[in-house]
């Protein structure tokens, strides 16, 4: 079983977090055999980190954020159910926003999660401070 860090600063923290808890639990299940797993609340979602690199995140309303190779992203984006993540008015070509319909069943969610895992496993582990 993977070790997890979980941040929980009480009711004030819970009021600000807008991620989908059901989706987060499904992601935890999909990542249960992965080593180096930690969780971190960020950007209104719950990020799932592997060896310090965020692979996927649970967003609000069942949306899933997935880290992918930027060279492969265009082939995965359909402009409707799967789009580029946007932050500060710019598209992040290494991050995709996957709508809840594309992660409705566990097999499909697992495939998206594994895309994120595959990409971050190809990166060197981040150095701990």
- CA atoms of 56 and 121, how far apart (whole Å): 12
Reported as a pLDDT band with limits 50, 70 and 90, residue 125 is confident
Q: In the structure encoding, which two tokens stand for residue 34, read together? A: 């992965």
Give the chain's length. 129
Residue 94 lies in a domain: yes
Q: In the structure encoding, which two tokens stand for residue 39, read together? A: 């969780």
Choose among 23, 5, 49, 51: nearest CA to 110: 23
Residue 127 lies in a domain: no
Q: CB of 49 within 8 A of CB of 67?
A: no
| Residue 72, domain CATH | 3.90.1150.30
* pLDDT tens string 7-53: 444 444 444 457 899 999 999 999 999 999 999 998 778 999 999 99
Q: pTM higher than 0.85 for the full model? A: no
* pLDDT tens string 51-110: 999 999 998 888 999 999 999 999 999 989 999 998 888 988 899 999 999 888 999 999
Residue 27 lies in a domain: yes
Which residue segment(s) compose the domain that 89 sits in?
11-121
Residue 6 lies in a domain: no
**Domain tally for the chain?**
1
Residue 1 lies in a domain: no
Q: CB of 94 within 8 A of CB of 68?
A: yes
- CA atoms of 79 and 65, how far apart (whole Å): 15
Choose among 101, 20, 108: nearest CA to 58: 20
């Amino acid at each position: 079983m993977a070790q997890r860090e979980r941040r929980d600063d009480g009711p004030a923290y819970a009021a600000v977090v807008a991620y989908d808890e059901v989706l987060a639990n499904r992601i935890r299940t999909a990542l249960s055999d992965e080593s180096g797993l930690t969780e971190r609340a960020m950007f209104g979602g719950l990020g799932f980190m592997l060896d310090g690199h965020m692979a996927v995140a649970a967003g609000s309303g069942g949306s899933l954020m997935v880290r992918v190779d930027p060279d492969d992203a265009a082939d995965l984006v359909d402009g409707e159910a799967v789009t580029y993540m946007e932050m500060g008015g710019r598209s992040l070509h290494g991050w995709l926003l996957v709508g809840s319909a594309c992660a409705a069943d566990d097999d499909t969610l697992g495939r998206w999660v594994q895309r994120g895992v595959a990409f971050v496993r190809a990166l060197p582990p981040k150095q701990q401070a």
